[in-house]
Amino acid sequence: MDQYRTLYLDENFFTTGRTDIMNDQQEKVGYIHIKSVLSPIVEVYDHRDRLQLYGSFGLLSNRWVVCDTSRQVLGKLRNRYFWQPGKFRYRYRNLQNKKNYYIQPPETAMACRILDEQGETAAYFGENSHIFSKKVYEVHIYDADLRICELLIVLTGACMTQKQEKSSISSL
């Protein structure tokens, strides 16, 4: 799945259950599975039902953690500043380097740019109603270090973190 630079997801992307991941030929290349809303676990599978990566909140933590199939942590997502909810930093690391990506979803539309440390666009996520006969979300990667299935888990983690923050504020 990571050989693709652009993929598309059905409009039910942020809901519990399975969402197909398609290429520009509308062929299913995998799916994302959100298992729970209360204590969410998000898994990305390829077209042969093999788990690629997963994400969840760390144990006793409000940080979203992205792991590979051997449970090795690939990166962590957290609010960039505690006084500015909705702005996120994803710290990616592998054996060669560590890298930060910044996500700031806009307040009104379902679209966002993911920026690298230099402020350049590393990826884009947004609605697209022109490519297929239905509304879909488009994910496009510009940065060669960022895996597309990893980005899907990070974006879902940002959404889950916002939901968690809203529910904790409303319970006060």
pLDDT of residue 139: 93
CATH code of the domain in which 36 resides: 2.40.160.200
Q: Is 106 part of a structural domain of the chain?
A: yes
Q: Dihedral (C-alpha) 18, 50, 164, 6: value to the nearest 10 degrees? A: -80
Tokens of 46: 């390829």
pLDDT of residue 45: 96
pLDDT of residue 127: 87
pLDDT digits over 4-30, tens only?
A: 889 999 888 878 899 999 998 989 999
pLDDT of residue 169: 59
Report which of 147, 1, 2 is spatially closest to residue 75, judged by C-alpha positions: 147
> Computed from CA positions of residues 49, 50, 55, 58, in that sequence, does the dihedral angle turn out positive or negative?
positive
pLDDT of residue 84: 58
Label each residue of 91-144 as H, E or C: EEECCCCEEEEEECCCCCCCEEEEECCCCCEEEEEEEECCCCCCCEEEEEECCC
Residue 94 sits in which domain range? 6-170
61 or 111, which is more confident?
111
Report which of 41, 59, 29, 19 is spatially closest to residue 148, judged by C-alpha positions: 29
pLDDT of residue 129: 78
Give the mean pLDDT of 30-37: 87
Q: Over 60: is that where the pLDDT of 53 sits?
A: yes
The tally of domains found in the chain comes to 1
Tokens of 112: 């966002």
Q: Is 51 part of a structural domain of the chain?
A: yes
Q: Structure pTM? A: 0.85
pLDDT digits over 88-102, tens only?
A: 899 987 656 788 999
pLDDT of residue 172: 56
Q: Is 1 part of a structural domain of the chain?
A: no
pLDDT of residue 106: 58
pLDDT of residue 122: 94
pLDDT digits over 100-158, tens only?
A: 999 876 554 578 889 999 999 999 998 887 777 788 899 999 998 888 999 999 988 88
31 or 166, which is more confident?
31
